Structure 1
Amino acid sequence: MNEIRNIYCVGRNYVEHAHELNNQVPTSPLLFSKPTHSLVKANGEEITLPSDRGAVHYEAELVIRIGQPYKKGMKVDELVDRMALGIDFTLREVQSELKKKGHPWLLAKGFPNSAVLSEFIDFPGVEECKKSNFSLMLNGEQVQLGTIQHLIFDLQTLIDYTALHLGLGEGDVIFTGTPQGVGKVSDGDELSLLWDAGKLGDCTIKLT
């Protein structure tokens, strides 16, 4: 994971996901970040998550990697060199309490092993990417299915907005948002991340 610098994430970027959690659909990208300590590979091994802070929810996402420093006017296909699938693990009850208090989400989103990444593959370009789906399998059953065609804020908007407000450079990654179907993980669950029918990563959950 040494090539990864900043980890940016986008909340509520699919309409149905916003609705399933009874959240308003945002009018501009809802950005947050995760520390590098949250990174872990989905390489078939166990991923340890906390069991003492309420439910841990999976949120599968398409993740893009920025290949060069951003300059205003640059297009997605110029900037993005690699892509992966990821899981934004969330302490849902912690997040709900933070939201009630108007506090940042960091404690619910930034804990160790909360940013799971599959292997990276070459980014095929926006138009080709739109032709494919990503999915999350939980113990062999599909629980999430998404395509960037259904993003509220498309990849270009996410990149421009992130660069304007936070800066964007080589090695930064963006978790682009999760589709509907998020849910709780249990000890021993097996998760697999698929790009169309091809598996890019998998892991087993260990709650401690």
Structure 2
Amino acid sequence: MKIFAVGLNYPSHNQEMKHVFRSTEPVIFMKPETALLKDGKPFFLPDFSQDIQYETELVVKICRLGKSISERFAHRYYDELTVGIDFTARDLQKRLKQNGLPWEISKGFDGSAVVGDFISKEQVPDVQQLSFHLDINHQTVQQGETGDMIYSVDQIVAHISRFFTLKIGDLVFTGTPAGVGGVSINDYLEGYLQETKVLAFRIK
């Protein structure tokens, strides 16, 4: 099982992070399988970072084997979706970037890819017209609309498949909007897709 993620896919997040980079194609990175955290299990703050930040995202699950998929057929290759958290060790990421070094460890550490309960794509009218949000301690801290994506889900899936064979069960984190922030011990996180709560876990 592979976990793909997309960076810089919402203009609002790019602005808040002061990114001036402009890409003509989706920015893809990966997390190892050991990054997956599911079933409401708690997230334990690691000892190598003092600034763990949440990034709330729509996540889709691949349902068919695919390679070099055309964008117009990409919708056939995922059938479930949920809300996920791409946890980032922001201080570690900044230090690595400043030194021109790879920053995978700041994104791919154990437990850094949290996913909620998946729902069928058939339950939503349009994947590119969905709202999602994250509450921490019952206060909304981040919200987004998939219609604001720079690259659509279908464009992302098609692009990834040019380089990697997609297999059943692979996950794609599709990018985060503005509103990222830090977490602390005992925080309670709840993720919503539209008005349905699909994610709930605590920080330990």
Of 31, 34, 43, 2:31 maps to: 34
Task: Measure the CA separation in 2 of the matches of 1:178 and 1:172.
Answer: 19
Q: TM-score, normalised by structure 1?
A: 0.90
User: Once the 2 structures are TM-superposed, how far is the Cα of residue 118 of structure 1 from its aligned partner?
Assistant: 0.2
Q: Per-residue CA shift, 1:42-96, capped at 9, x if unaligned? A: 52x4221214422000000000111001143262321111111100000001101
Change over 3 Å in CA distance of 1:130–1:79 after alignment to 2: same
Moved more, 138-147 or 56-65: 138-147
Counterpart position of 1:145? 143
Task: Measure the CA separation in 1 of the matches of 2:21 and 2:119.
Answer: 31
Whether the 8 Å CA contact 1:77–1:125 is kept in 2: the answer is no
Task: Measure the CA separation in 2 of the matches of 1:135 and 1:42.
Answer: 19
Moved more, 166-175 or 55-64: 166-175
Letter in 1 for 2:173: F
Q: 1:14-163 counterparts in 2 under 5 A?
A: 14-27=10-23, 28-43=25-40, 45-71=41-67, 72-73=69-70, 75-124=73-122, 128-163=126-161
Letter in 1 for 2:200: D
Q: What percent of counterpart residues are identical?
A: 34
Task: Measure the CA separation in 2 of the matches of 1:126 and 1:204.
Answer: 27
Task: Measure the CA separation in 2 of the matches of 1:85 and 1:181.
Answer: 15
Task: Measure the CA separation in 1 of the matches of 2:118 and 2:7.
Answer: 22
Letter in 2 for 1:181: G
Moved more, 174-183 or 62-71: 62-71
Q: TM-score, normalised by structure 2?
A: 0.92
Aligned length: 201
Structure 1 unaligned spans of 5+: none
Task: Measure the CA separation in 1 of the matches of 2:102 and 2:48.
Answer: 20
Whether the 8 Å CA contact 1:65–1:83 is kept in 2: the answer is yes
Q: Say what the alpha-carbon RMSD is for the aligned residues.
A: 1.7
